[in-house]
Chain A
């Protein structure tokens, strides 16, 4: 049994379609650079979460092979339990042969309310539960990609535009030059941030800090004192455990700038404030750790390239 912590982020919005098996069975998955396993619900799962999603039926696939090993993926609030199998996984136009993946037999209640059926992890294999080879590693091994990298563009537009590009960089999705940042750890997509400033003053990460670029986290997450500082500076206040701001003040809120590899990555207030049914929320969340997570709030502003060939992350202004 292998375990891996995963997301149950209530604010995740982006998912794409993949298919598994022959003939193909389609699933909506979160492309998650903060984890490494692929899993989807199976017909052997009768949890409410599974019943609310598409389920994989191995007996309907002529290319399916059982692995036999169990899989347990821990969420913050529960876990997904299942087993491993192999099948052809089609991602975009690529047919990845003999891809190992998880078939859930039980899922945490919270998953019931997520639009995505499952998760497709894009971090390093060392992170993968049960030693399961990640999808992108098989893409590289099977010679499906011309470059050992993938890139993510997240649009604020709900209708269209967001895309994951495997094997290359799409110049239509960024402007200016790409800043390449070497990884500080080849487990996650972890980089060093030099500081965080508002109006030229350091408000967080003084002297440097570590951050994970994670498409599977919606917010920018950091240490409690740093996030408190930022939220105070932008005028957020705490209400029922949420960091709220007045929706009328968004235009007056300052930019927040991340300094990375000698470059400035600036977020205007329109990027870090999100509107919900209950009002306007700060996009900066407390993680309680010294580690930072640069989630979708950051990635929407900066086209992100994940280069496995050279173990580095590329960031450029999203266009």
Chain B
């Protein structure tokens, strides 16, 4: 009755975008506020 799911620590979206030189474009095009997940007024 106890199960463990290993988690992989992979590349982040930011790292992938930075490697492709797209991070600045994406950051400006899709500005992100972490609070939007908990409060729609930030959407």
Contact = CB atoms under 8 A, between A and B. Distances in A.
Interface of A: 5-18, 28, 31, 34-35, 74-78, 91-94, 108-110, 113-115, 144-147, 154-160, 162-168, 170, 188, 212, 214, 216-219, 221, 240-241, 276-278, 285, 287-289, 291, 293, 295
B3 A166 contact: yes
B28 to A, nearest CB: 8
**6 interchain residue pairs of minimum CB distance:** A146-B1, A92-B3, A77-B30, A162-B7, A287-B35, A76-B36
Given A163-B4, A167-B1, A10 B38 contact: no
A28 B9 CA distance: 12
28 contacts: A7-B34, A75-B36, A76-B42, A110-B13, A113-B17, A154-B7, A158-B10, A159-B9, A162-B8, A162-B9, A163-B4, A165-B3, A167-B2, A168-B1, A216-B37, A217-B34, A217-B37, A221-B35, A276-B14, A276-B18, A287-B33, A287-B34, A289-B35, A291-B35, A291-B39, A293-B34, A293-B38, A295-B34
A15 B15 CA distance: 16
Given A13-B10, A13-B11, A14-B7, A5 B2 contact: no
A299 to B, nearest CB: 11
Interface residues of B, number: 36
Contacts, number: 167
